[in-house]
Amino acid sequence: MSPRHLSITGGTPLKGEVRVSGAKNAATKELVASLLTSEPVTLTNVPNIGDVEVTLAMLKHLGAKVTRTGGRVTVHASKLKTFAVTEAFSRKNRIPILLLGPLLARFGKAKIPALGGCKIGARPVDFHVEALRKMGATIDCNGVYVASAPDGLKGAVIELPFPSVGATENVMLAAVLAKGTTVIQNAAVEPEIVDLAKLLQGMGAIISLDVNRTWVIEGVESLHGAKHRVIPDRIEAASFAVAAAVTGGDVTIKDAQQEDMLSFLNALRRVGVPFDVQEDGIRVRGPARLDATTLETDVHPGFMTDWQQPFVMLLTQAEGVSIVHETVYENRFGYAEALARMGANIQLHKECLGSKACRYKNKNQRHSAVIVGPTPLVAANIDIPDLRAGFSYLIAALIAQGTSKITGIEHVERGYENILGKLRRLGAKVKVT
Ligand code: EPZ
């Protein structure tokens, strides 16, 4: 397929209603969970995005039967034919590593190729590997992860060095069928993980969230089929909220969940963006003036790192000096350079410019940003490097003077369903050639 070129002409306020799709970062993990039973698992509200495509292709390759009608996907993994994920699925996203638990449960062994995903830092999987070793697996990693646990995995007390989303999910997926009880301390508690736990409980798992970021999972003999609705995507919801605010628009974001977005909505309020929480969504309007702010990304319930890119985009239009301290990834401001070419004033710093020092103090990583605004933006030619940065560029183009030419839209389509259609329905001037 030849690369598509996108033209976006800025200057139109976004108006109307948009419905957010199911969350990528819940749906993909829940599809993996469906391998833990030989009975059918049906998920609804599954987004039609690149990362779901890749995950379903991987499940089919392992031998699962997949049926899909719109957002309804049934995975029936009655028999799996291989424990080895081939190189073809290597470097596409971060999902394959999560197959370790289910494949060890089904086969006592697993072979997983190198991981991909957005280039936003080193993104090692040492916590995953250490935790599964503690549960009795032998794992060699020489480019390919080769794991075995011929006598099955056993419960363990695992304290994660950092509340990693993927490592928490991996241990959870491995623990539901392990012998005995697993306790994950300093675990991640993101809404997408709670959603995964809800599916697993629906499949027969015994799983609870204790105080102080602790998951307790009592292993059971087997799991059964279940039906589950994937939670709405709070990253997509926040991205549209920023697009509405910064274009001076008025958008009702259907299915946006206030309880999963408290820290984002607080940040919107601090910069002066009016919003109303409604029964089935959140309405966001463009303010007369945006105020500068300071914020720090953090694990849930903090301000999530995936909201950082659209929010920095918003801050380029705020009056005064804003500071954003990224504490989850060491290298998540790469997109700032293209925004600077469009006229934004963003300086990156190696110091922790937040209220507390983070893991990247003295690590020589540019993980704090100072944004001086407001700066008018002008159209540019942009090649999208990754998913979340990609949406920020689309927002930048929506307010820039002139027509921006954009390539690499497939990165955005990995994570946002029908993104161009949704933007057009809100009035954005978007053309694809
Ligand atoms: C998930 O990535 C999401 N991806 C990311 O969203 C999200 O930014 C991230 O969680 C944080 O919320 C998916 O769910 C597919 P982590 P994950 O393990 O699980 C370090 C998007 O755009 N770490 O919580 O890979 C790691 O390097 C993506 O949808 C280790 O050091 O994130 C990072 O600095 C981008 N060793 C931090 O922890 C490990 O073994 C958090 O990573 C694991 C992680």
Same domain, 51 and 12: no
Counting ligand 1 atoms within 8 A of each CB, the residue from 55, 91, 123, 233 with the most, and so the one to mutate, is 123
Rounded to whole angstroms, the Cα distance separating 244 from 15 reads 7
Same domain for 202 and 267? no
275 in the same domain as 158: no
- Tally: H helices and E strands in the chain: 13, 23
Same domain, yes or no: 28 and 175: yes
246 and 177 in a common domain: no
Q: Which residue has the higher pLDDT, 118 or 105?
A: 105
Distance (Å, whole) CA 253 – CA 267? 17
CATH number of residue 298's parent domain: 3.65.10.10
Residue 125 amino acid letter: V
pLDDT at residue number 355: 84
State pTM to two decimals: 0.96
The residue from 229, 249, 281 where one domain ends is 229
How far, in Å, from the CA of 428 to the mean position of ligand 1? 31
Q: Which helix (H) or strand (E) holds 50?
A: helix 50-62
Which residues share a beta bridge with 254?
Answer: 19, 281
- State whether 158 and 54 are in the same domain: yes
The answer to whether residue 298 sits within a structural domain is yes
Upstream peptide bond of 13 is cis (omega within 30 degrees of 0): no
Examine the domain organization and report whether 168 and 242 are in the same domain.
no
- Rounded CA separation 303/175 (Å): 29
Tell me what pLDDT residue 123 has. 75
Q: Which of 298, 304, 328 to mutate to test the pocket of ligand 1 (most atoms within 8 A of CB)?
A: 328
Mention every residue, 6+ apart, whose C-beta is less than 8 A from residue 366: 331, 333, 348, 349, 350
In this predicted structure, what is the pLDDT of residue 1?
Answer: 54
Residue 166 CA to ligand 1 centre (angstroms) = 6
Atom 7 of ligand 1, residue of closest alpha carbon:
306
Catalytic-residue membership of 352: no
210 with 114, same domain? yes
Residue 1 lies in a domain: no
pLDDT at 92 over 80: no
Quick one: 259 and 385 in the same domain?
yes
Q: Where does the pLDDT of residue 122 fall: very low under 50, low under 70, confident under 90, or very high at 90 and above?
A: low
Give the structural domain span for 320: 6-21+232-432
Residues 192 and 253 in one domain: no
Q: 94 and 182: one domain?
A: yes
Which ligand 1 atom sits closest to the C-alpha of 126? 40
Q: Are residues 39 and 163 in the same domain?
A: yes
Predicted confidence (pLDDT) at residue 116 exceeds the cutoff of 70: no
Confidence at residue 58, expressed as pLDDT on a 0 to 100 scale: 94
pLDDT recorded at residue 119: 62
Q: Out of 105-114, 122-131, 343-352, give the one with best mean pLDDT.
A: 343-352
Q: Examine the pLDDT at 273 and tell me if it is beyond 60.
A: yes
E strand residue ranges, 350-428: 368-373, 381-383, 403-407
Last residue of a domain, one of 198, 229, 260: 229
Total number of domains in the chain: 2
In a domain, 386, yes or no: yes
pLDDT per position as a tens digit, 285-294: 999 999 999 9
Instruction: Say if 188 falls within a structural domain.
Output: yes
**Residue 141 confidence class, pLDDT cut points 50, 70, 90:** confident
Closest CA to 397 of 284, 313, 274, 312: 313
User: Does 189 reside within a domain?
Assistant: yes
400 vs 4, which has greater pLDDT?
A: 400
Query: What value does the mean pLDDT of the chain take?
Result: 94
Of 182, 206, 229, the residue that ends a domain is: 229
Is residue 6's pLDDT more than 90? yes
| Top mean-pLDDT range of 96-100, 171-175, 332-336 | 171-175
